[in-house]
């Protein structure tokens, strides 16, 4: 299941990831979901134990019998504040998260006193973050909490109704945070709040439902099809953190990917234009057509290798050399954040033919590479640790060696 943001599933380098609002706009419009036009406005009083400020304003969808309300906590993360637009049951669960119950989880978050970057305005792409000192793979670039978390079901079907509640999520924030939100970019005209969510919010599953998260500082990161940074969203602390996925030199722009990178140039350009309104002229998109074709072929090859290596059926044709090819293609294509995944595939593929020495080598490398995204690849790390502990009892041991 997809949870949080990204490949595993909150780790961004390749799979469709920061699906921003417009991505769903398209999906929602074509899905013919019932409109929220038979709504009623009402308010509910929070129970005395909830952290929400004031009365929650709610809207009910009579078709689904679902209510969505605006909940704000102005004290969240040391007075930065946070607003939710979601169902009462999700809001109740939210209050039990570490974000609301554990002291200290936001201690070094939303702190930008001496960051390793500065904001620079680049004609044609707006603001972006540029490194002011050398960053090594794994170094923290920034960590922030969302100002808004919006249930996609809540306002999506009918914008006019949704706007009103989105505006409320904004209006209830502390003054300083309102300004921070307004300082984010909007790439098309329209309702100022809606458009800022549209341009900047990350989509991810939250408490089992799709939500959008607006992290105003992370929002400053521009897109590159070969980014030098990856990010992770912790759905318990609600902290979003971005780490360098390779060495970044002073003066270099710090970039993330907005899309699934395992797509051809034309596919990438189409989706970036459609959703974020810009022509991608990143280093990869600007290559001459012969180089670009080679890259597209590599991407296709990576996709095929993924499919083969993830196939544990009796029909699988996966071999360790496929995993070695995958690793070298990641390197060739400079998909740095995926190296850990490549080593994991290799560890499993070697163990599957009983080559313990190579399985252990790659498991160690996978864990080491996973440190960069320690939180995001938790399951993978656990899996690799288990393999290291005793390769012979790991489920993958000789799982492919008896096949003809
Ligand atoms: C999340 S914002 C990124 C920060 C934004 N540049 C700003 O000024 O705050 C996304 C918007 O930035 C611009 N953008 C991001 N990456 C870009 C790129 N590689 N080339 C051109 N524009 C880009 C587009 O206008 C896009 O809609």
My answer on whether 167 and 235 are in the same domain is: yes
Instruction: State phi, psi for 216 to the nearest 5 degrees.
Output: -70, -30
Burial class (CB in 10 A: 0-12, 13-18, 19+), 72: buried
Range list of H helices, 135-183:
152-155, 159-171, 175-182
Distance CA 373, CA 167 (A): 34
Q: Is the pLDDT of residue 42 over 70?
A: no
What's the 278 CA to ligand 1 centre distance in angstroms?
8
Question: Final residue of a domain: which of 256, 277, 307?
Answer: 256
Residue 119 in any domain: the answer is yes
Instruction: State phi, psi for 37 to the nearest 5 degrees.
Output: -90, -15
Contact 201, 213 (CB under 8 A): yes
Distance CA 20, CA 126 (A): 18
My answer on whether 75 and 179 are in the same domain is: yes
Own/partner contacts of 33-41, CB < 8 Å, gap of 24 or more, are 33/156, 33/157, 34/61, 34/63, 34/64, 34/157, 35/157, 35/158, 36/61, 36/63, 36/154, 36/155, 36/157, 36/158, 36/161, 36/162, 37/158, 37/161, 38/62, 38/63, 39/161
What's the 232 CA to ligand 1 centre distance in angstroms?
20
Extended strands (E) in 102-207: 117-122, 126-131, 140-144, 148-151, 202-206
pLDDT given at position 286: 95
The three-state secondary structure class of 232 is strand
Q: What is the mean pLDDT of the chain?
A: 84
Total of domains in the chain: 2
Cβ contacts of 108 within 8 Å, gap of 6 or more = 143
My answer on whether 239 and 378 are in the same domain is: no
Nearest-atom index, ligand 1, CA of 224: 19
My answer on whether 27 and 162 are in the same domain is: yes
What's the 177 CA to ligand 1 centre distance in angstroms?
21
Q: Is the pLDDT of residue 176 over 60?
A: yes
What's the 125 CA to ligand 1 centre distance in angstroms?
5
Q: Is the pLDDT of residue 227 over 60?
A: yes
Residue 274 in any domain: the answer is no
My answer on whether 234 and 88 are in the same domain is: yes
Contact 190, 206 (CB under 8 A): no
Distance CA 162, CA 203 (A): 17
| Out of 26-35, 127-136, 168-177, least confident range | 26-35
Instruction: Give the CATH number for residue 168.
Output: 2.170.270.10
Residue 269 in any domain: the answer is no
pLDDT (average), residues 226-244: 90
Q: Is the pLDDT of residue 390 over 50?
A: yes
66, β-bridge pairs: 61
Q: What separation in angstroms does the CA of 41 have from each of 38, 69, 115?
A: 10, 10, 44
Which residues contact ligand 1 via a Cβ below 6 A? 124-128, 184-185, 187, 199-200, 219-220, 222-223, 276-278, 280, 282
Q: Is the pLDDT of residue 41 over 70?
A: no
Distance CA 48, CA 146 (A): 24
Predicted confidence (pLDDT) per residue in 93-140, tens digit? 999 999 999 999 999 999 999 999 999 999 999 999 999 999 999 899
My answer on whether 73 and 208 are in the same domain is: yes
Nearest-atom index, ligand 1, CA of 121: 8
Contact 243, 254 (CB under 8 A): no
Count CB neighbours of 345 within 10 A: 25
Residue 129 in any domain: the answer is yes
Residue 11 in any domain: the answer is no
My answer on whether 177 and 318 are in the same domain is: no
Residue 348 in any domain: the answer is yes
Residue 347's closest CA among 329, 374, 365?
365
My answer on whether 26 and 125 are in the same domain is: yes
Range of the domain at 384: 289-393
Read off the pLDDT band of 45 (50, 70, 90): low
My answer on whether 172 and 317 are in the same domain is: no
What's the 246 CA to ligand 1 centre distance in angstroms?
21
Tokens encoding 20: 């921003």
Predicted confidence (pLDDT) per residue in 192-203, tens digit? 998 898 899 888
My answer on whether 88 and 210 are in the same domain is: yes
My answer on whether 303 and 214 are in the same domain is: no
Structure-model confidence comparison of residues 163 and 247, the more confident one: 247
Residue 280 in any domain: the answer is no
Residue 359 in any domain: the answer is yes
pLDDT given at position 5: 26
My answer on whether 213 and 79 are in the same domain is: yes
């Amino acid at each position: 299941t997809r949870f949080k943001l990204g490949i595993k599933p909150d780790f961004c380098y390749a799979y469709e990831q920061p699906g921003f609002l417009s991505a769903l706009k398209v999906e929602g419009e074509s899905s013919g979901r019932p409109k929220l036009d038979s709504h009623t406005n009402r308010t509910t009083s929070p129970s005395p134990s909830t952290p929400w400020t004031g009365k929650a304003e709610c809207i009910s969808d009579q078709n689904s019998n679902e209510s969505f309300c605006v909940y704000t906590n102005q004290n969240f993360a040391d007075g930065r504040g946070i607003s939710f637009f979601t169902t009462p049951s999700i809001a109740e669960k939210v209050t039990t998260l570490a974000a609301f119950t554990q002291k200290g989880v936001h201690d070094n978050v939303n702190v930008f006193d001496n960051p390793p970057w500065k904001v620079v305005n680049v004609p044609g792409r707006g603001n972006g973050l540029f490194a002011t000192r050398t960053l090594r793979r794994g170094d923290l670039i920034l960590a922030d909490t969302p100002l808004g978390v919006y249930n996609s079901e809540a306002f999506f079907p009918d914008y006019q109704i949704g706007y009103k509640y989105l505006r409320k999520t904004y209006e209830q924030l502390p003054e300083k945070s309102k300004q921070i939100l307004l300082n984010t970019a909007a790439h098309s005209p329209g309702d100022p709040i809606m458009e800022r969510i549209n341009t900047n919010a990350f989509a991810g599953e939250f408490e089992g439902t799709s939500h959008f998260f607006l992290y105003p500082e992370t929002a400053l990161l521009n897109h590159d099809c070969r980014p030098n940074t990856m990010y992770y969203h912790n759905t318990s602390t609600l902290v979003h953190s971005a780490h360098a996925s390779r060495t970044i030199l002073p003066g270099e722009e710090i970039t993330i990917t907005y899309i699934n990178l395992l797509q051809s140039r034309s596919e990438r350009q189409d989706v970036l234009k459609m959703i974020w309104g810009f022509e991608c002229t990143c280093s990869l998109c600007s290559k001459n057509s012969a180089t670009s074709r080679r890259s597209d072929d590599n991407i296709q090859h990576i996709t095929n290798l993924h499919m083969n290596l993830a196939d544990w059926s009796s029909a699988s044709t996966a071999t360790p050399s496929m995993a070695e090819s995958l690793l070298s293609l990641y390197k060739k294509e400079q998909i740095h954040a995926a190296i850990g995944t490549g080593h994991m595939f290799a560890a499993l593929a070697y163990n599957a033919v009983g080559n313990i020495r190579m399985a252990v080598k790659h498991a160690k490398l996978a864990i080491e590479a996973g440190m960069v995204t320690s939180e995001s690849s938790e399951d993978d790390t656990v899996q690799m640790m288990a393999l290291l502990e005793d390769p012979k009892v790991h489920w993958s041991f000789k799982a492919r060696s008896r096949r003809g």
